[in-house]
Amino acid sequence: MGASRNRLIALGLVLSVASKAVAGVLPDQAGSQGTKGNQGKEPLNPGFETGNLQGWQVVSGDAFGNKSVTDTASYWGGPFHQDQKYFIWGITQAGEAAVGELKSSSFRARSVMSFLVGGGYDPVKLYVGLVRDSDNQLLLKQTGTNDEALIRITWDTSKWAGQLVHVVIHDSSTSESWGHINFDDLRVGPHALSDGDGLTFQVIGQANQPAHNPAACSLYAADPLRPQYHYTPYQGWINDPSGLVQWKGRHHLFSQFYPDAPMWGPMHWSHVASTDAVHWREQPVALSPPSTNMPGDQSGRFTGSAMVRGSELDLVFTDFTDAATHPGAIQQSVAAASSSDGINFTLYPRNPVIPGPAPSFPIDFRDPKVFYDKTDNSWKLVIGATNGTQGQVQLYRSTDGGPYSWSHVGVLHTGDGTTGSPWECPNLLPLGDKWVLFYGGNSLAWYETGTYNGSVFTSEKRGLVDAGPASYAMQWYKDESGRDLAISWMGNWPTSKWPTRVNGWAGQQSITRELFLREDGGLGSRPIAELDSLASGPAKNLGRLQVGEHTRRIGDGNTARVKLTVNLGETSASAFTLAVFESRAESTLVSYDVGSRTLALDTTNGGYGQAGKWEAVLAKPHNGKLTLDIFLDRGILEVFAGDGTVMSATVWPRYKQSTGISLVGRNGTVAVGAASVIPLGSSWC
Ligand SMILES: *[C@@H]1O[C@H](CO)[C@@H](O)[C@H](O)[C@H]1NC(C)=O
Ligand SMILES: *[C@@H]1O[C@H](CO)[C@@H](O)[C@H](O)[C@H]1NC(C)=O
Ligand SMILES: *[C@@H]1O[C@H](CO)[C@@H](O)[C@H](O)[C@H]1NC(C)=O
Ligand SMILES: *[C@@H]1O[C@H](CO)[C@@H](O)[C@H](O)[C@H]1NC(C)=O
Ligand SMILES: *[C@@H]1O[C@H](CO)[C@@H](O)[C@H](O)[C@H]1NC(C)=O
């Protein structure tokens, strides 16, 4: 672990030098050098469009050969995004485990270059490297993302402009999983930055990561993939929100966290705090994995929740022990930690507080969520489990009025087979005149609304917490004013892609939402009012207008909020589409079909992220007014419909110009009652 931490620190230093060039200087520099560098040698067959490795040299191993060059357009997870026809797919010559190195012809460096990379994440064993011919020095490196699809990486090479260099595609990974690297379209000079027609690539890649400076309000502004007002880790990986609480006025958001790589690993808890649940401030890591001397030990502090007890703030969480390195250990138990300052958490010395599942229950037993149960005035916790075939939630009751002693009440609820097994991250709360149980199962976030008598939950209605692809492990908390708030992980294992791994980080949390019971008895979400404070300038208000079949640009921005009210009674169109993150090359579409009341999200041509289509049928709007409240944040979006339906997605546009926001009607006109586009700023300022 120490070695990889050093690697990140080393990267940070190298990258901070390059970061100045990233914020817009790069294109001009490249342009001004455009003709001067042109007498130099250009790389041969830079996009493999000969259909083979002509012009490239196999330096070593058998990982690369003519069979590496393929014209396959898509894989199980979507399109490869290659340039033109051919590219290098690192498994097609000799499989995952093969090793080798491929070398380009020699070319003269100019101030900038770019290329497409995909395949395994391993900064040491899988990378595209820039090597100087004269001394064979490796000048820059870029690894993959554990995704097949290709992402454009841009390098500032002004330091070496004029020198002879070459590119190596290096694979010394023998791993049978993500042991290969993909490559395409090497570009040198101004052409590296744009795709013609005025479209310029986002400048991304590990060599462009801005230096970490927690004091700087502009933190993250230089990384074009970085959300500005959704919590992300500076480096490393986050997943489930944990320990959500408002305590002594401040909101606390902890996240499952692995600091050493943008990948899941031994779990820590990262920590940010806020006075308004919008503007976050970094806090020290709250929980770290137990120290270990076993290589590959994945033990760590899994998802859990917070409990306020007098002047103490307690955390109750799953302690995960890796059975592969600790044979015979109970894998999932419940542990506690407490703090008197909300910063420094001390593990309870007599952990675990629940040693494992009750006798005869399977080992899956995780993500305890504590709540105060007014049905019998006690602290309780729900925990995700399985009965072997069906997802299940187990219920426990505190016997000491605190986090240290729990008795098993019984099975709160068992699934009927349609929502997966085991269940994870359960939450139980009273809302309106119902109780809501929500949980993760089958890699989707489900809610059930119904009744609860202090020991058993009876379901009346079920649905998805979020109708989009990027939501899992939502956690609820009641704030000091009594609102029911929630934050969800904007990620999900089967559908998510993490192109931001090229910049060293992965994962983001949703904005803070307020939960409410919808009129149809389902679980609804709306953005909290405090989010209004993110406005960084005046709203562009369009007022009433009729939009027909000619696309109408209503605004511009990729860090913005779009509010739209449509008077359906005066609308003759059968449907309308709002395009966001739009340029000539790509866009993300939010459509509404008036007849079927279907809200649809289409990210098929959105960018590097999840490509697909998702739908939800909305409730019949009041007074015939449909409202949409849409949050755009660099590469991600959250769509809130007036009835409480929410759709979240991660899109990651490929071009800087993909900031358009436009509206179009189908077969008639759309009667817009009001439309506004509000520029939003950073939650770190
Ligand atoms: C690839 O095929 C070309 C054309 O047949 C051949 O000249 C070349 O040697 C081959 N390269 C490799 C690495 O096998
Ligand atoms: C954290 O709390 C523990 C226990 O109260 C204490 O021993 C330790 O000094 C504290 N550390 C810091 C940095 O405050
Ligand atoms: C799990 O629960 C379901 C629903 O109650 C039941 O049908 C099934 O038999 C249970 N499975 C086991 C292994 O107990
Ligand atoms: C709650 O409901 C269950 C199932 O109907 C029943 O077995 C249990 O006794 C009830 N508990 C209380 C406290 O009423
Ligand atoms: C709507 O317009 C499209 C062309 O834009 C046309 O193909 C379609 O038939 C029309 N549908 C109706 C119901 O008018």
DSSP, residue by residue, 21-53: HHTTHHHHHHHHTTTGGGGS---SSTT-TTSS-
Select from 479, 510, 541 the last residue of a domain: 510
389 lines ligand 3 (CB under 6 A): yes
How many angstroms does the Cα of residue 574 sit away from the middle of ligand 5?
A: 9
Nearest CA to 664 out of 591, 568, 565, 601 is that of 591
Q: Is residue 214 part of a domain?
A: no
Question: Which domain does 616 fall in, by range?
Answer: 531-679
- Pick from 203, 184, 177: which is nearest to 125 by CA? 177
**Residue range 215-243: average pLDDT?**
88
pLDDT of residue 206: 84
* Residue 334 · residue 319 · CB < 8 Å: yes
Are 613 and 601 within 8 A, CB to CB? yes
Q: Using one digit for the tens of pLDDT, what is the confidence trace for 455-496?
A: 999 999 999 999 999 999 999 999 999 999 999 999 988 778
Confirm or reject: Cβ of 242 under 6 Å from ligand 3: no
State which ligand 4 atom lies nearest to the alpha carbon of 453: 1
- How far apart are the CA of 668 and the centre of ligand 5, in A? 10
- CATH (domain of 128): 2.60.120.260
Residue from 664, 666, 667 to probe ligand 5 pocket by mutation (most atoms less than 8 Å from CB)? 667
pLDDT at 628: 98
Backbone φ and ψ for 53, nearest 5 degrees, come out as -90, 20
Whether 236 and 377 map to the same domain: the answer is yes
pLDDT recorded at residue 34: 39
Give dist(CA 215, CA 142) in Å, integer: 28
Same domain, residue pair 324 and 468: yes
What pLDDT does residue 446 have?
98
Q: Which atom of ligand 2 approaches the CA of 341 most closely?
A: 14
**Which comes out higher in pLDDT, residue 440 or 25?**
440
Please check whether residues 181 and 313 belong to one and the same domain. no
Res 425: pLDDT = 98
Q: Supply the pLDDT for residue 231.
A: 96
* Backbone φ and ψ of 6, nearest 5°: -60, -40
Confirm whether 515 is domain-assigned: no
| 545 and 660 part of one domain | yes
Ligand of minimum distance to the alpha carbon of 45: 1
The answer as to whether 219 is a domain residue is no
Distance from the alpha carbon of residue 636 to the mean position of ligand 2, in angstroms: 38
In a domain, 34, yes or no: no
Cα–Cα distance measured from residue 47 to residue 38, given in angstroms and rounded to the nearest whole number: 19
Residue 453, ligand 4, Cβ within 6 A? yes
Mean pLDDT of the chain: 92
Same domain, 357 and 488: yes
* Residue with CA at minimum distance from ligand 5 atom 9: 667
Domain-located, residue 225: no
Ligand 1 atom index nearest CA of 65:
13
Is residue 525, in this structure, part of any structural domain at all?
no
Same-domain check for residues 380 and 259: yes
Q: Measured between alpha carbons, how far is residue 82 from residues 72, 148, 199, 282 in Å?
A: 9, 10, 17, 38
Any ligand 1 atom below 6 A from CB of 52 = yes
- Of all protein residues, the one whose alpha carbon is nearest to atom 9 of ligand 1 is 54
Last residue of a domain, one of 174, 208, 242: 208
The 10s digit of each residue's pLDDT in 344-388 is 999 999 999 999 999 999 999 999 999 999 999 999 999 999 999
Instruction: Indicate whether residue 559 lines ligand 3 (CB < 6 A).
Output: no
- Whose C-alpha lies nearest to ligand 3, atom 13? 388
Residues 637 and 592 reside in one and the same domain: yes
Q: Is residue 213 part of a domain?
A: no
- What total number of domains does the chain contain? 3
Q: Are residues 655 and 577 in the same domain?
A: yes
Q: Is 58 touching ligand 1 by the criterion CB < 6 Å?
A: yes
Question: CATH number, domain at 642?
Answer: 2.60.120.560
Does 16 contact ligand 3 (Cβ within 6 A)? no
| Predicted local confidence at residue 95, as pLDDT | 97
pLDDT at 16: 31
Q: Tell me if 616 sits within 8 A of 598, measured CB to CB.
A: yes
Same-domain pairing of 344 and 376: yes
65 close to ligand 1 (CB < 6 Angstrom): yes
Q: Is residue 159 part of a domain?
A: yes
- pLDDT at residue 322 tops 80: yes
Does 583 lie in the same domain as 442?
no
pLDDT over 90 (residue 23): no
The total of other beta-carbon atoms located within 10 Å of residue 572's CB is: 13
**Which residues fall within 8 angstroms of residue 373, CB to CB, at 6 or more apart?**
379, 380, 397, 454
**Same domain membership, residue 145 and residue 65:** yes
Separation between Cα atoms, residue 432 and residue 430, nearest integer Å: 7
pLDDT of residue 207: 82
Residue 209 is predicted with a pLDDT of: 77
Beta bridge partners of 559: 633
CB 620 within 8 A of CB 612: no
Question: Quick one: pLDDT at residue 12?
Answer: 30
Of 346, 347, 348, the residue with max ligand 2 atoms within 8 A of its CB, to mutate for a pocket test, comes to 346
Q: Look up the pTM and report it.
A: 0.93
pLDDT tens string 195-226: 878 899 999 998 877 777 766 676 677 889 99
Q: Verify that 360 and 431 share a domain, yes or no.
A: yes
Query: Taking 60 as the threshold, does the pLDDT of residue 28 lie above it?
Result: no
Residue corresponding to tokens 């490196």: 141
CATH number of the domain where residue 429 is located: 2.115.10.20
